[in-house]
Amino acid sequence: MVSKAGSIGIEGVSHAFELRGRTLPVLDGIDFTVAPGEFVALLGPSGCGKSTLLRLVAGLEPPRAGRILVDDEPVAGPDPSRIIMFQDPTLYPWRTVRANAQLGLEARGQLKGQGARVDEALSLVGLENFAGAYPHELSGGMAQRAALARALVNDPRVLMLDEPLGKLDSLTRLQMQRELSRLWEREGFTVLLVTHDVEEALLLADRVLVLSDRPARILADIAVDEARPRHRDSPRLIALRREILELLGLAEAA
């Protein structure tokens, strides 16, 4: 049986941007692997290059140095088995929620006879009653759910989340964290989550990779050995939180 989840191998990946004629290094010799079905959080200060790493794994850009393997195959370009979800929902405003959700099927010419799959994805995120709504009629949380449905329709083996909850209010955020966790347990895909919220990383992930300031290097690879469902005030998570904040040079805040 083919596993529903993909493995990821990052081997000595470095990357840089050209900014007004200057070379700006963003990633510096990143090495790590992710097992199929694992939930890994990339945690680091804003602008450290975490999102760039996701774009490289998604195949939207090639790395300047090093290799990226998914299921032991080098990444050559974007592929629907690796779906990325951004901080902004980036729904197409001229499409209804349903038409947005079916984007991937449509782009690959697989739409025929797959309507049920779109409905299933919409009900998975609780938007079955908003299929005909336009994005401007949705709240921030609903828009992110629609974006999630759009990702799920593609049956991704790797789901990359680029601070998808970063712009939501704190209550919606808590709710969405619970739902993401539930979805991952149910669907079993591999998740790479980029976040700068220590608590969010500890609540959701199996492992937390702590990244340094730009150019990003891996400071620590911390296994979150706490059973689910997790509570933010569990002593183990509080201890891990303190450890991570110290790594990031924010010991006083802990």
Partner 1 sequence: MSSTAQTAGLDLAERLAAARPAPGLWATGLVAAIVWLVAASIILGLPDADDLGRTEELAGAAALIGGVILAATLLIGRLPSGPEALSTRIRAGGPWLIVLPLALIAWELVTAKLDWLPRPFFAAPQSILEVFTDDWARLGESVLRSLILVVPGYLLGAALGFVTGVAMGWSRLVGYWVHPVIRLIGPLPATAWLPVAFFAFSTSRGASTFLIALASGFPVAVLTWSGVASVGKSYYDVARTMGASPWFLVRKVAVPAAMPSVFVGLFMGLGASFSVLVVAEMMGVRAGIGWYLQWAQGWAAYANMYAALLVMAVMCSSAVSLLFRVRDRLLSWQKGLVRW
For residue 72, count CB atoms less than 10 angstroms from its CB and return exposed for 0-12, middle for 13-18, buried for 19 or more: exposed
Nearest-angstrom CA–CA distance, 81 and 245: 34
Interacting positions 106-125 with partner 1 (CB under 8 A): 106-108
According to the binding rule CB under 8 A, does residue 17 interact with partner 1? no
Residue 94 CB, nearest approach to partner 1 (Å): 5
According to the binding rule CB under 8 A, does residue 181 interact with partner 1? no
Shorter beta-carbon distance to partner 1: residue 159 or 209: 159
Query: Phi-psi bin for 66: left (phi > 0), alpha (psi -120 to 50), beta?
Result: left
According to the binding rule CB under 8 A, does residue 242 interact with partner 1? no
Rg (CA), the chain: 18
According to the binding rule CB under 8 A, does residue 82 interact with partner 1? yes
Residue 225 CB, nearest approach to partner 1 (Å): 33
Shorter beta-carbon distance to partner 1: residue 112 or 225: 112
Shorter beta-carbon distance to partner 1: residue 41 or 58: 58
Closest-CA residue to 157 (of 26, 40, 7, 1): 7
Query: 22-34 and 8-19 as β-strands: parallel, antiparallel, unpaired?
Result: antiparallel
Is residue 158 within 8 Å of 75, Cβ to Cβ? no
Residue type, 214: R
Residue of 4, 14, 25, 60 that binds partner 1 (CB under 8 A): 60
How far is the CA of 188 from the CAs of 4, 36, 104, in angstroms? 7, 9, 20
Residue of 84, 176, 204, 216 that binds partner 1 (CB under 8 A): 84
Nearest-angstrom CA–CA distance, 229 and 217: 30
Shorter beta-carbon distance to partner 1: residue 16 or 153: 153
According to the binding rule CB under 8 A, does residue 104 interact with partner 1? yes
Shorter beta-carbon distance to partner 1: residue 60 or 174: 60
Per-residue mark of binding to partner 1, 62-81 (x: CB under 8 A) = ----------------xxx-
Residues binding partner 1: number (CB under 8 A): 27
Residue of 88, 119, 155, 187 that binds partner 1 (CB under 8 A): 88
**Tokens read off for 128:** 């079955």
Per-residue mark of binding to partner 1, 142-171 (x: CB under 8 A) = --------x---x-----------------
For residue 6, count CB atoms less than 10 angstroms from its CB and return exposed for 0-12, middle for 13-18, buried for 19 or more: buried
Which residues are registered as beta bridge partners of 70? 8, 73
Shorter beta-carbon distance to partner 1: residue 94 or 225: 94
Judged by the rule CB under 8 A, the positions of this chain that interact with partner 1 are 55, 58-60, 78-80, 82-84, 86, 88, 90, 92-95, 103-104, 106-108, 134-136, 150, 154
